[in-house]
Structure 1
Amino acid sequence: MLFNAADKALWRLALPMIFSNITVPLLGLVDTAVIGHLDSPIYLGGVAVGATATSFLFMLLLFLRMSTTGLTAQAFGARDPQRLARALVQPLGLALAAGLAIVLFRIPLINLALHIVGGSEAVLEQARRFLEIRWLSAPASLANLVLLGWLLGVQYARAPVILLVVGNVLNIVLDLWLVMGLHMNVQGAALATVMAEYATFFIGLLMARRVLALRGVSLSMLKNAWRGDIRRLLALNRDIMLRSLLLQLCFGAVTVFGARLGADIVAVNAVLMTMLTFTAYALDGFAYAVEAHSGQAYGARDDSQLLAVWHAACRQSGLVALAFALIYGLAGEQIIALLTSLPSLQQLADRYLVWQMILPVIGVWCYLLDGMFIGATRGAEMRNSMAVAAAGFALTLLTVPALGNHGLWLALAVFLALRGASLAVIWRRHWQRGTWFS
């Protein structure tokens, strides 16, 4: 049966998350378009460097959302309001403390980031101006990760849409006003994001307050929620952060090794990576839904619900992955033509289009299994799986001298395949031994 109650429940969460995720690259496109219309390319370069540094830092702290979703979903499944309160208050306090530390130490952190990047002094100066304002949003940005994770964990399906879409639309409007209207250049782009992040934070708090009341969480529970097993939260976050670091390093290596193959290869890979990123954002919608539903099943110790979630996720996301492969196979050349108008890059990109058909079908399984393990808060096993995949990625890079850019994309395929395969082995072992809920 291709569509049953479990499939409907999965889509109820996945569809809003897919829609919300798609607004994220849209914001990047608007930022590029607005800054790209200024009278010098140094502004666009500065924002690009600043955005890359910000993305790297905040992606390392993405564990705040992932761990919060898992812990919240488990409390939701166990129908435990005290644990539900703790799953919000403890990571929220951690996020605000980390954000405040980034604000206080942002100048030396910016100096370090720009020293590592290097390049044109004019571009780096614009990046500095951007980052000095942009990182003022750190407390709100990190708190928003927690609020998003918590609201997802209680399966409040509309919340991700409201938070991400309202935040991104507000960012776009402020971008146009501050950059184009008030001529604030890169400072305007940074300030637009800061204002949007804090606005999103307050909207998220209002949503969380409503859900807390509905779930029977009292004020006294919230006051005492900071107490409890904080060591478990810190250990879980440590493991997921190390996993995120390995992930970032592997994707960063694609750019570094691509640069050694020439300027055209870097440009082509940027175009192809846009397609891969879009696919990943869509398939991640299913992974987020799996996090919430598998965490609920884990909290309730309900193995039948867990299997129903897994089978539904395999069916629905598998079909979507095949649809992406088919679309890229039939219309890939036309999509590339929309992303670049340069004939030489179009012809070169067509050589590597086959990877865009292969990667969705390979990658979908590691995304789904990530969701299963996040729901069960098995951070150490996710970290170990990522280490295995990173080692396989590094070994496959040895084929680059012989295969060229195909070797890079092969390494990426091996990386995704090993992530999925290693998690599948661990999951199967737990299931056979009956230790998944232990």
Structure 2
Amino acid sequence: MAQQRIRSMTEGSPVKLLISFALPLMVGNVFQQLYTVVDTAVVGQMVGVGALASLGAADWLNWMTLGIIQGFTQGFAILMAQYFGAKDYRQLSRSVGASVTLSAIAALLLLAVSQLAILPVLGLLNTPADILGGSVLYLRIMFGGIPIVAAYNLLASILRALGDSKTPLYAVVLATFVNIALDLLFVMGFHWGIGGAAGATVFAQAVSTLYCYGNVRKITIIRLEKTDFKLQRDMVAALLRLGSPVALQNAIISVGGMVVQSVVNRFGMLFIAGFTATNKLYGILEIAATSYGYAVTSYVGQNLGAKLLGRIRQGMRAAALVALITSMVIAAAMLLFGKSILGLFISGTPEEIEASMAIAYHYLALMSLGLPILYMLHIYRSALMGLGDTVIPMSSGFVEMAVRIGIALFLPLAIGQEGIYYAEVGAWTGAALLLVAGYYVRMHGLSRNLPAR
């Protein structure tokens, strides 16, 4: 029962709470990445290296729409976590109702804008003509599922805000099996190619949405009234103050990524395919980081609602240490086994495979070495969001964009295509420095206004 899974994080060992909250999310992310990997592997092996490059050319534009949706819903969940920590269930219900209405409006607007933007944006990104058709088809289908994605992310955010990380796990596991089965049917069975892979993903997301919806309805402390769905000024202002900067932050980061993609596209199909193969592993590299991040946001938000600054500091020390150790373990695994995993995505002639693999593994090795920086970025960004500060995380998005674009545009001029590999780690570093400093400044300010507990 979902009601039994909601959990207060204002009592008990911070380490145990954070890890027990994050573990189901990690497992869920493993499954989510599994169907991303299967999508890519099936397309790369069954359709070919050109189709793999088409996926890569579409990646950042697709990520931008997803990031905007996740930004709004993640921001909305901060307010929910704070009301839950304060045990103000009427305000919690109001925040849920208003979030539903705002998410629906955002999803419909994004659906219309994204469909209109596909061709112009792919043109600006210097997408090669031989892969343009596949990229357009993939994005048409994926963007058609934006309302479904928005519904899932809002429902999962509500559950996580209330300390339930298991229901989103079960939803993702279910969706993974559906997606893999449909990938095999649509791509390998019906030979629908890249469109079949996109259709399988959208259908699987619908399944996970329905599962989360059924569980949210069982939470008895959320008692929605008709007036909760109306856009009342005070609640809308509070939600948008938290959600808009996070959505903008993700959009800004995506712009930087698209500039990098436009540079990558100049180096031809094989370079795009190798770069794409590694980018499809990015989610695996980041699995634990995003999971710890969600745990930290809920933990900090609930404890701020309960005015327990001492517990926040204690939890942050634990989260940073656990995240650092985890990042080093994942980096070692990628350095040891990365080539074997990348081989799942790359097909073609022996020469094509060799060229793409060399590009992919070199990029993977550099990103793996920079993983501890990425993990600290997630921990401190999530902590600031839990504290109700989404402006500094948004500013970190500007830093990421500026560094990523600067490296991508200028370093290749000095050292050739080798320079493009450093854009990602450089962007992480710039953002992480701002976020760590911002967290300590914010905590110092709060400590002057709240009693030490």
Q: Per the alignment, do residues 129 and 76 of structure 1 end up closer, same or farther by CA in structure 2, a change over 3 Å counting?
A: same
Q: Per the alignment, do residues 266 and 170 of structure 1 end up closer, same or farther by CA in structure 2, a change over 3 Å counting?
A: closer
Instruction: Tell me the equivalent position of 2:239.
Output: 233
Cα shift at 1:34 = 4.2
The answer (yes or no) to whether the contact 2:58–2:139 under 8 Å persists in 1 is: yes
The answer (yes or no) to whether the contact 1:110–1:131 under 8 Å persists in 2 is: yes
Deviates more, 1:396-405 or 1:93-102: 396-405
Whole-angstrom distance in 2 between the partners of 1:38 and 1:335: 17
Matched, 1:417 2:429: yes
Match of 1:399 among 411, 415, 426: 411
Matched, 1:315 2:327: no
Match of 1:108 among 116, 137, 146: 116
Instruction: Tell me the equivalent position of 1:54.
Output: 62
Structure 2 unaligned spans of 5+: 1-11
Matched, 1:198 2:198: no
The answer (yes or no) to whether the contact 2:56–2:273 under 8 Å persists in 1 is: no
Cα shift at 1:386 = 2.5
Matched, 1:387 2:398: yes
Instruction: Tell me the equivalent position of 1:297.
Output: 303
Deviates more, 1:57-66 or 1:129-138: 129-138
- TM-score normalised by length of structure 1: 0.84
Whole-angstrom distance in 2 between the partners of 1:50 and 1:347: 22
Instruction: Tell me the equivalent position of 1:281.
Output: 287
Matched, 1:146 2:151: no
The residue matched to 2:24 in structure 1 has which SS?
helix
Cα shift at 1:413 = 2.4
Identical-pair percentage: 21
RMSD: 3.4
Letter matched to residue 241 of structure 2:
A
The answer (yes or no) to whether the contact 1:36–1:44 under 8 Å persists in 2 is: yes
Matched, 1:365 2:395: no
Q: Per the alignment, do residues 163 and 347 of structure 1 end up closer, same or farther by CA in structure 2, a change over 3 Å counting?
A: closer
Q: Per the alignment, do residues 188 and 229 of structure 1 end up closer, same or farther by CA in structure 2, a change over 3 Å counting?
A: same
The answer (yes or no) to whether the contact 1:86–1:226 under 8 Å persists in 2 is: no
The answer (yes or no) to whether the contact 1:61–1:241 under 8 Å persists in 2 is: yes
Letter matched to residue 201 of structure 1:
T
Whole-angstrom distance in 2 between the partners of 1:220 and 1:273: 44
What is the number of residues matched between the two proteins?
Answer: 432
Matched, 1:23 2:31: yes
Question: 1:365-424 deviations in whole A, cap 9, x for unaligned?
Answer: 111011102212311121122223433444445333334445334443232122111111
Deviates more, 1:122-131 or 1:15-24: 122-131
Whole-angstrom distance in 2 between the partners of 1:195 and 1:274: 20
Q: Per the alignment, do residues 221 and 154 of structure 1 end up closer, same or farther by CA in structure 2, a change over 3 Å counting?
A: farther
Q: Per the alignment, do residues 277 and 253 of structure 1 end up closer, same or farther by CA in structure 2, a change over 3 Å counting?
A: farther
Question: 1:343-374 deviations in whole A, cap 9, x for unaligned?
Answer: 44555666566523421122111110111022
The answer (yes or no) to whether the contact 2:404–2:424 under 8 Å persists in 1 is: yes
The answer (yes or no) to whether the contact 1:88–1:146 under 8 Å persists in 2 is: no
Deviates more, 1:397-406 or 1:58-67: 397-406
Cα shift at 1:60 = 2.7
Instruction: Tell me the equivalent position of 1:136.
Output: 144
The residue matched to 2:163 in structure 1 has which SS?
coil
Q: Per the alignment, do residues 437 and 68 of structure 1 end up closer, same or farther by CA in structure 2, a change over 3 Å counting?
A: farther
Question: 1:296-339 deviations in whole A, cap 9, x for unaligned?
Answer: 11111110221121011012111111212333455556555666
Structure 1 unaligned spans of 5+: none
The residue matched to 1:229 in structure 2 has which SS?
helix
Cα shift at 1:32 = 3.5
Instruction: Tell me the equivalent position of 2:169.
Output: 161
Instruction: Tell me the equivalent position of 1:218.
Output: 223
- TM-score normalised by length of structure 2: 0.82
Whole-angstrom distance in 2 between the partners of 1:156 and 1:128: 37
Whole-angstrom distance in 2 between the partners of 1:71 and 1:349: 41
Cα shift at 1:9 = 0.9
The answer (yes or no) to whether the contact 1:301–1:437 under 8 Å persists in 2 is: no
Whole-angstrom distance in 2 between the partners of 1:383 and 1:436: 25
The answer (yes or no) to whether the contact 1:328–1:356 under 8 Å persists in 2 is: no
